[in-house]
Amino acid sequence: MTNDKPTVSLTQHRITVLLVDDQAMIGEALRRMLAPEQDIDFHYCQDPTKAIKVANRIHPTVILQDLVMPEIDGLTLVRYYRANSSTRDVPLIVLSSKEEALTKAEAFALGANDYLVKLPDRLEIIARIRYHSKGYINLLQRNEAQAQLEKANRLIRKTFGQYLSDDIVNSILETPEGSALGGEKRFVTIMMTDLRGFTAIGERLPAEDVVSIINIYLEAMTDIILKYRGTIDEFIGDAIFVIFGAPVLRDNDAKRAVACAIEMQLAMAEVNRRCRENGYPEVHQGIGINSGQLVVGNIGSKKRMKYGVVGRNVNLTARIESYTVGGQIFISENTLEECGQHLLRIDDQMEVMPKGVKKPITIYEVGGIKGEFNLFLPEKVEVELTALKRPIPILFTILEGKHAGDDAYKGTVVKMSGKVAEILADIAADKLTNLKISVSDDQGKEITADLYAKVTKKVSESPVIFRVNFTAVPPEAETFLKGVA
């Protein structure tokens, strides 16, 4: 059976004895006692005023010291050893010419570890030297191992902190089971974000510009997510998958997720300022939030694993996010209940039937959160659309819903303002349906076949008129639409 734990290489310290005694005969006697011992290095200092300097140079594992010496009192020297950082923890054996209970007690009170009457028996002094040195060497190795561990942990935090949240890094570093495979069922709140229409933008721009836009966006969003203690599970291109409630469960996970989403939407103004500054197109973010039971834990193999979540609520969150247009935050009913409806500003609600769900669910558009976070998006204002003097004929394909397929339907853009338009059509398109639109000029020349929109409102059933938000507008379509508005 193999041991997968990392090994730590520690310094092999030798037993090093420093004797401080003004009598040369004592020094010679101790030298002879210890000379046969191959694992012990012996050093002798006759001048007590130089004892600290010698100790700093040789790094003894035990100090033997006389109590009665000229120029400096033995007990005072004990104080010096304990005040000096290099000798503070070195075991100290006091040597005295006689047993004196009061002197012995004072020596121990000042920090001495042992007391012997000189000259001691050879076997006894060797045994005590080895005993005290072993304890000190163990202390040195523990300190060294701790220093190496802290160094490794700093490297791990610096390296993996760029990819994982602090909570996951802490879980790996601080608990033995933190890096083990396995999971548990837990009630968490998850958030998914996406840049609406970014795929179309990416197809038009050089790869380096696409990466730069994503980096501008992710840099801003990551700081906010970590501020609200979200665990970034994954970056999927321009999308972010975030967990609130794992690995650390807190009592306000859903509220923090909603507050985080609001601040992320508010931060898009700065993201787009930087995009414009670099000559890039503006981008717009949709966010979906859902709360529910999931399996959370380390998924994968021993060679490659990731901390993640598994369960149908992940798919449901992705479906909820897909209904958004840029600037919107949609939450599930579970998240609404976790937050408390009285704390949230609900700008809209709608019943939807996501793929894979057996019955319709209600989702809510959040515009703000009260209480400790007190964050709000600008109030929604009904856009006043202008009737076009020359309505624009279009062909559109329904990408989602019961009409999904490749069939193209005729329609006419009759009103418009910015990225909002009303379409008169032969067939109805359900609210939150995604459309792919082909636009042509008066001579029937195609301007673009890659204009994307989401239905946001049914205006009329007879005739069929619905309102859309354009989610991806190619430059040629933007120029054309501005010219006819």
Give tens-digit pLDDT for 222-243: 999 989 989 888 888 889 999 9
CATH of the domain at 435: 2.40.10.220
pLDDT in tens, 316-364: 999 999 999 889 999 999 999 999 999 999 999 998 888 878 889 999 9
The answer to whether residue 267 sits within a structural domain is yes
Tokens 């639109």 — which residue? 437
pLDDT at position 175 is: 53
94, 77 in Cβ contact below 8 A?
Answer: no
**CA dihedral for 53, 54, 56, 60, sign (positive or negative):** negative
Cα–Cα–Cα angle for 16, 61, 118, rounded to 5 degrees: 80
277, 319 in Cβ contact below 8 A?
Answer: no
Residues 421 and 346 placed together within one structural domain of the fold = no
Domain, as residue range, for 131:
15-143
pLDDT at position 4 is: 47
Res. 164: pLDDT tops 80: no
49, 2 in Cβ contact below 8 A?
Answer: no
Q: What is the mean pLDDT of residues 98-108?
A: 84
pLDDT at position 155 is: 58
Residues 479 and 352 placed together within one structural domain of the fold = no
How far apart CA 258 and CA 121 sit, in angstroms, is 76
Residues 125 and 242 placed together within one structural domain of the fold = no
pLDDT in tens, 17-68: 999 998 999 999 999 999 999 999 999 999 988 999 999 999 999 999 888 8
pLDDT at position 70 is: 79
How far apart CA 318 and CA 22 sit, in angstroms, is 82
Domain boundary among 376, 402, 429: 376
Q: What is the mean pLDDT of residues 205-223?
A: 91
The answer to whether residue 151 sits within a structural domain is no
Contacts of 114 (CB under 8 A, 6+ apart): 91, 92, 93, 94, 128, 132
Rounded to the nearest 10°, the torsion over CA 73, 79, 82, 83 is -120
pLDDT at position 67 is: 83
Residues 345 and 472 placed together within one structural domain of the fold = no
The answer to whether residue 152 sits within a structural domain is no
The answer to whether residue 436 sits within a structural domain is yes
Share of the chain above pLDDT 70, in %: 87
Tokens of 395: 């062909």
| Mean pLDDT across the chain | 85
pLDDT at position 449 is: 87
Residues 205 and 329 placed together within one structural domain of the fold = yes
Residues 364 and 401 placed together within one structural domain of the fold = no
Structurally, the chain folds into a number of domains equal to: 3
Tokens of 230: 């979200």
pLDDT at position 259 is: 97
CATH of the domain at 343: 3.30.70.1230
What is the value of pTM for the model shown?
Answer: 0.63
The answer to whether residue 22 sits within a structural domain is yes
The answer to whether residue 348 sits within a structural domain is yes
Q: What is the mean pLDDT of residues 139-165?
A: 67
Q: Which of 156-165, 225-234, 269-278, 472-481 has the highest mean pLDDT?
A: 269-278
Contacts of 428 (CB under 8 A, 6+ apart): 458, 461, 464, 466
pLDDT in tens, 12-26: 889 999 999 989 999
Q: Is it true that the peptide bond before 432 is cis, omega within 30 degrees of 0?
A: no
Pairing mode, strands 114-117 and 92-96: parallel
368, 379 in Cβ contact below 8 A?
Answer: no
CATH of the domain at 110: 3.40.50.2300
Residues 316 and 247 placed together within one structural domain of the fold = yes
Residues 186 and 137 placed together within one structural domain of the fold = no
Residues 428 and 368 placed together within one structural domain of the fold = no
Residues 262 and 243 placed together within one structural domain of the fold = yes
How far apart CA 327 and CA 288 sit, in angstroms, is 11
Q: How many Cα atoms are found within 13 Å in the side-chain-facing hemisphere of 222? A: 17
> Amino acid identity, residue 400?
E
Residues 341 and 239 placed together within one structural domain of the fold = yes
Residues 202 and 346 placed together within one structural domain of the fold = yes
